[in-house]
Copies of this chain bind each other. A is one copy, B any other.
């Protein structure tokens, strides 16, 4: 069995990473698992421990940092977010593809640690639309939203570090595009050639 591929889905806050991820998982025919992140942020209404996030205290989170138990972590609007290493390695070894849905700051760390991962940048159709989505979410005040827009502009200049860029016009189209990326990445010669050569050599013996 071949090892799974790690896909990193990132992009500015408010761009719709969570919605696109949910759409991906609603589709059939995939071997994707979602890497549940740890965070110190307060759970939003409807969010479930161990499904949406592992909710941690600041003390617990800092212990994980100290123990190098995280692939990446970031502080974002005063809260920690991070990805537990064990879980990701276990899933990949079992041949499952893992999707990390993380902030841009965290993606840069993953790239240093796991350069073989596939990096997908989710971009907003426009800044106007990004602002509309942040306001529509109704969870942050105007000042926080302005801060997020400014961060988004800076983050758009980190796009070139990513293998792929998907514009989130509609969630269905964005999911279709990411599925094509996942399918194509599995066809990379580096994952296939040893299997083919072994098969051919067996026939020649």
Contact = CB atoms under 8 A, between A and B. Distances in A.
A167 B193 CA distance: 10
Interface in A163-197: 163-167, 177, 180-181, 183-185, 187-190, 192-193, 196-197
A33 interface: no
Contacts of A162: 189
A187 to B, nearest CB: 5
Nearest to A157: B197
Interface of A: 121, 123, 126-128, 153, 156-157, 159-160, 162-167, 177, 180-181, 183-185, 187-190, 192-193, 196-197, 199-200, 203-204
A159 B189 CA distance: 7
Nearest to A185: B184
14 contacts: A123-B192, A127-B204, A153-B204, A156-B197, A159-B189, A159-B196, A163-B189, A164-B187, A177-B184, A180-B183, A180-B187, A181-B184, A181-B187, A183-B184
**Residue with the greatest number of chain B CB neighbours at <10 A, chosen from A153, A164, A197:** A164
A33 to B, nearest CB: 21
Given A180-B184, A183-B180, A192-B165, A126 B159 contact: no
A203 B160 contact: no
Contacts of A123: 192, 196
Nearest to A177: B187
A15 to B, nearest CB: 12
A163 B180 contact: no
A199 B180 CA distance: 25
B164 A200 contact: no
The 3 closest A-B pairs by CB, nearest first: A184-B184, A180-B183, A165-B192
A121 B204 contact: no
B189 A183 contact: no
